[in-house]
Structure 1
């Protein structure tokens, strides 16, 4: 289930690079907030405290209640870094997928 959440979030972040309506970005922020909250919960269940911290920080970055104004260019960079990081983690954690 966590792989599906990570892939979905990564795809949503990469779609943010396109010229989408503002409502899409608001929806992504809400989905990212919930998704990273879920990933933090799952990491906590597995006793992975550093991942819990990272996912909570990402949930706070994307939280939909108080907009963090980074500007479109910087948000695009953040989206690419986080999307790539999520996919890379899946591939390297499950390195048997590459064989």
Structure 2
């Protein structure tokens, strides 16, 4: 907000009232967009955390394939959104999860190790959900 006020004050002092109005309007849109993006990341993170925790139990093989696809795309999406907000450490963690759960070039590991990775993914997405609360 302080940056927005500084920008509008600079525009006012320069006599560019049209630019000042544009900056105010754009600031409101950016704020609404950021809130919507924050809400979407939180929703995706909680869904993936629950799905990853459920994957520890005995399910048909199709559920594990579904979890792999969901964690891959959610990790890539949430990582990109967090990268834009300068939360680079969480973004790198999400990109690593997307790489491990990649359904196109699958990593073949024993079931016990996948259980640990599923719990790790659930914790990672839980941390994302917790850090994105507003």
Provide TM-score, normalisation by structure 2: 0.63
Residue 48, structure 1, aligned to residue 109, structure 2: no
Partner of 2:112: 73
Decide whether the 8 Å contact of 2:68 with 2:103 is kept in 1: yes
**For the aligned residues, what is the CA RMSD?**
1.9
Q: Distance in 2 between matches of 1:88 and 1:54?
A: 11
Shift of 1:33: 0.8
Q: Is the alpha carbon distance of 1:42 and 1:94 closer, same or farther for their aligned partners in structure 2, counting shifts above 3 Å? A: closer
Partner of 2:103: 64
Partner of 2:47: 8
Shift of 1:86: 2.5
> Which of 50-59 and 29-38 deviates more?
50-59
Shift of 1:52: 2.2
Higher-RCO chain (CA-CA 8 Å, sequence separation at least 6):
1
Decide whether the 8 Å contact of 2:93 with 2:124 is kept in 1: no
Q: Distance in 2 between matches of 1:94 and 1:67?
A: 30
Shift of 1:84: 2.5
Unmatched segments (≥5 aa) in structure 2: 1-39
Unmatched segments (≥5 aa) in structure 1: none
Q: Distance in 2 between matches of 1:84 and 1:54?
A: 11
Q: Give the structure with higher Rg (CA).
A: 2
Shift of 1:88: 4.2
